[in-house]
Amino acid sequence: MDAPAQISGNGAHAPAIRRIIDRAIEAGQGALDEHSGKLVLSELGIAVPKSVRIGPYDGAHGRIAALRPPFVLKALSSEAVHKSDLGAVRLGLANAAEVDAACAEIRARMAQAGKALTGFLVEEMVEPGTEIVIGGVIDPQLGPMIMLGAGGVFAEILKDVAFRLCPIEARDACEMIEGLRMAPILKGARGKAGADLGRIRDALLALGGEDGFFTAHADRVEEFDLNPLIARHDGLVAVDCRVVLRGVGK
C-alpha cells in the first residue's frame, strides 16, 4: 500500500469534493461511482487501493501494467448497487487475461440485472486486516449522523455499531471505537496485531467532524458507506465505497 497521507478534516478539500459531487449530480447520477467516491476519499487523505479505471469494453492488456498482482476487479455503476450480491466483484485475478475474462462475465451479469455499467476498476489487492465500516445517514429530525461498526458483508447481521450526530469531536470518535464489542480486536486481542486507532479516529473526524465530508456536504449526500475499510497496525484502506446522492430522480 502507498505511504499514508495525512487524514484531514480541515475543510481545504471541500471545493475539490464539491466539484466531484456536482459533476455527478449534473450527469443525473443517483450515486458516485466507486472511482469518483475513491477520489473523494483521496482528497480526505483516506487511503484507497492503487487502481486503474478502464472502460466497459476496454481490454486490460497494457492498461494495468503499473499495478502489482493479484488484482481485484469491480464493476463501476452510477447506481447504488450491492456489488457482491450482484456478483460484480472478482478477487485474486493473476493477470490481464484473467481480468478480461472476468470483465466479460460481469458485463453479462450487470446486463441481466438491468444495471448501468460505466466501466471497471482494477485494483491491487489489499493485505488482510480487520474489516470495519464507516457510514453516514441523515436522520429526518436530527440531521447527518455517522456510524462506525464491524464491517464486511456481515455488517448488518453483526450490528456491532456506534452512531454519533455530526459534527463529532475527537472525544466522540474515541468513544465510538471504545463502544464497539469488537474494540478489543481493534486494540489487538490474543497476541494479534491491533489496528492504528488514531487513524480510525482521524478518518471518523475527516468524514463526520466539524469540517468533515458528511457535515459539509449533507445537502447533497444522502447516505454513504465505506465498507469494508481494512484496519491494520500500519494503515487504514477503504476497499469499497458507496456515496448515495440526494435529489436525483427522487
| Minimum distance from residue 29 beta carbon to another protein (Å) | 13
Collapsed DSSP state (helix, strand, coil) of residue 128: coil
Residues 104-123 that bind another protein (CB under 8 A): none
Q: For residue 5, which of 149, 203, 145 has the smallest C-alpha distance?
A: 203
Of 227, 229, 230, 239, the residue at the interface with another protein (CB under 8 A) is: 227
CB of 144 to another protein, least distance (A): 10
Cβ atoms of 74 and 88 closer than 8 Å: yes
**Sheet strands side by side (includes 119-124):** 51-54, 119-124, 71-76, 89-93
Cβ closer to another protein: 94 or 156? 156
Q: Where are the beta strands (DSSP E) in the chain?
A: 31-32, 51-54, 71-76, 89-93, 119-124, 130-139, 143-150, 161-165, 221-232, 235-238, 242-245
The interface mask with another protein, positions 15-54, x = CB under 8 A, is ----------------x-----------------------
Q: How far is the CB of 166 from another protein (least distance, A)?
A: 9
Which C-beta is closer to another protein: that of 15 or that of 140?
A: 140
The least distance separating another protein from the CB of residue 27, rounded to whole angstroms, comes to 18
- Mask: binding to another protein, 151-190, rule CB under 8 A, as x and -? ----xx--x-x-xxx-xxxxxx-xx-xx--------xx--
Least spacing, CB of residue 140 vs another protein, in Å: 8
Place of cell 450515486: 31
* Minimum separation from the CB atom of position 53 to another protein (A): 22
What is the C-alpha separation between 182 and 241, in angstroms, rounded?
21
Binding mask 196-225 for another protein (x = CB under 8 A): xxx--x--------------------xxxx
DSSP string computed for 167-190: SP-HHHHHHHHHHSTTHHHHH--T
Amino acid residing at 235? G
Closest approach of another protein to the CB of residue 224, in Å: 7
Grid coordinates representing 237 are 484502506
Q: Does 240 bind another protein (CB under 8 A)?
A: no
* Cα 203-185-213 angle, rounded to 5 deg: 10
Interacting residues toward another protein by CB under 8 A: 31, 80, 133, 135-137, 139-143, 145, 147, 149, 155-156, 159, 161, 163-165, 167-172, 174-175, 177-178, 187-188, 193-198, 201, 222-225, 227, 233, 242, 244
